């Protein structure tokens, strides 16, 4: 077994993704084989050269790019050593959802490439669940940016999973995103929903038998929190402590705690009844967007200004996931109103790096809008995969992929 070439030098020739891209482009054009190498701690020989492969060592790409304490999202380069990330997050009061014996030398890019499991999997699940996005350099040097920092994004195939656990045989992981466990109530929190006063109004006006559990003073926003735990008395104390703290800190102005399962159901009826109430109110234009939490409601307010009295704009959704359901209710469908809404709503979302379909998918209606949420190279890769698996294009045609690529 001959040893491979190491391209890493003291001057750091692989310390940017552009360099990784150049190396691969060069090697591909000359049919030179490549072994991506992280900490080289793997146990089955995945990161060692077999004959005369070029080793692309990632150690110099070891920068932590950003960490957002609100969303718990860490962005870093593929060569970061796992233990450094654990220590960094620990200092911020967060927990890295991955830990394993080789943490002192293994690198996060290698962890992702091998879908490393380790000691915390039982709690936090596998990297397929914890990696929110990836940037990958393909064999021909093309960089595929799958780096959305959103918890929910249902615009097309979720290609990052193809690379997680592919052991460097499909591409080199240059940058990645990790989602962290949240603090406070985190482990028993099972739902964290919000609705605005116009949503509540709609439900109270259009659905029978629904009543407001709070005094009739209208507040601007309502939050529905549900917890599910294994030990009811302790979990209840934990929830009550949290609510008391939030009240004292002025974060909430009033609240009601469901006393039994029937009351809990009646709270849920308000939240789940919004789509039904909207249908009863007339025509409705529905948008299901992922946005950075702090900007979520700005879009609702901008849309209200834009449409003034011609429509009732309501916002509700899954606050914990950064998922806004923006619904615009009018007496009847009207092309004039539609042109005021679209493409504005997609452009606004794209500008704020959101997703135009958090959970509803693209289907027929939004297939042509995919480029607002996905880079061209990613959409092309989706089209290639579609072509490979369904060469005659018989499965669910005209959906998901834009018409320009699906014929």
What's the min distance (Å) between Cβ of 215 and a copy of itself? 26
Q: How far apart are the first and last CA of the chain?
A: 48
Cα separation, 106 vs 80, whole angstroms = 8
**Shortest Cβ distance from residue 64 to a copy of itself (Å)?**
22
Nearest distance, CB of residue 312 and a copy of itself, angstroms: 19
Nearer to a copy of itself, 165 or 375 (CB): 165
If the CB atoms of residues 64 and 188 are measured against a copy of itself, the closer one turns out to be: 188
Enter the tokens of residue 214. 């709070």
Long-range contacts of 379-387 (CB under 8 A, 24+ apart): 379/156, 379/405, 380/405, 381/144, 381/159, 382/156, 382/157, 382/159, 385/157, 385/159
Burial letters 312-328, b for 16+ CB under 10 A, else e: bbbbbbbbbbbbbbbbb
Tokens linked to 177 = 């995103």
Q: 282 or 301: whose CB is closer to a copy of itself?
A: 282
Cβ distance to a copy of itself smaller for residue 183 or 218: 183
- Residue at token pair 């008395």: 233
The 3-state DSSP class for residue 45 equals coil
Q: How far is the CB of 217 from a copy of itself (least distance, A)?
A: 27
Cβ distance to a copy of itself smaller for residue 120 or 353: 120
Instruction: Decide whether 120 or 304 has the Cβ nearer to a copy of itself.
Output: 120
Q: How far is the CB of 182 from a copy of itself (least distance, A)?
A: 8
E strand intervals along 104-153: 131-137, 143-146
* Neighbouring-strand partners of residue 316: 195, 325
SS3 state of residue 109: helix
* φ, ψ at 68 (rounded to 5°): -110, 115
Q: How far is the CB of 407 from a copy of itself (least distance, A)?
A: 12
């Amino acid at each position: 077994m001959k040893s491979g070439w190491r391209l890493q030098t003291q001057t750091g020739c692989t310390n940017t993704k552009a360099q990784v891209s150049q190396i691969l482009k060069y090697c591909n054009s000359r049919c030179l084989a490549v072994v991506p190498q992280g900490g080289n701690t793997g146990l089955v020989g995945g990161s060692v050269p077999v004959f005369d492969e070029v080793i692309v060592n990632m150690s110099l790409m070891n920068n932590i790019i950003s960490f957002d304490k609100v969303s718990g999202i860490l962005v870093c380069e593929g060569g970061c050593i796992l233990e450094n990330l654990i220590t960094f997050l620990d200092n911020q009061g967060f927990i890295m959802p991955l830990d394993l014996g080789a943490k002192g030398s293994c690198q996060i890019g290698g962890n992702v490439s091998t879908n490393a499991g380790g000691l915390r999997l039982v709690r936090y699940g596998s990297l397929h669940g914890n990696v929110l996005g990836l940037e990958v350099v393909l064999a021909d040097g093309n960089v595929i940016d799958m780096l959305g920092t959103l918890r929910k994004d249902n615009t097309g195939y979720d290609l990052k999973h193809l690379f997680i656990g592919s052991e460097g045989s499909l591409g080199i992981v240059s940058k990645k995103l990790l989602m962290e466990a949240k603090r406070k109530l985190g482990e028993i929190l099972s739902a964290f929903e919000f609705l605005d006063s116009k949503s509540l109004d709609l439900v109270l006006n259009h659905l029978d038998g629904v009543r407001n559990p709070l005094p009739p003073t209208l507040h601007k926003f309502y939050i529905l929190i549900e917890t599910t735990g294994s030990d009811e008395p302790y979990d209840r104390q934990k929830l009550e402590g949290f609510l008391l703290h939030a009240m004292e800190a002025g974060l909430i102005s009033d609240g009601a705690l469901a006393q039994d399962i029937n009351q809990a159901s009646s709270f849920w009826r308000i939240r789940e009844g919004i789509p039904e109430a909207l249908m009863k109110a007339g025509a409705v234009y529905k948008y299901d967007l992922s946005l950075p939490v702090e900007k979520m409601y700005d879009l609702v307010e901008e849309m209200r200004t834009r449409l003034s009295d011609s429509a009732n704009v309501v916002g509700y959704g899954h606050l914990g996931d950064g998922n806004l359901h923006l619904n615009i209710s009018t007496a009847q469908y009207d092309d004039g109103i539609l042109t005021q809404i679209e493409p504005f709503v997609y452009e606004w979302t794209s500008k704020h790096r959101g997703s135009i379909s958090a959970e509803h998918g693209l289907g027929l209606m939004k297939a042509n809008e995919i480029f607002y949420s996905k880079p061209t190279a990613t959409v092309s890769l989706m089209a290639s995969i579609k072509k490979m698996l369904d060469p005659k294009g018989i499965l669910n045609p005209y959906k998901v992929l834009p018409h320009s690529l699906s014929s």
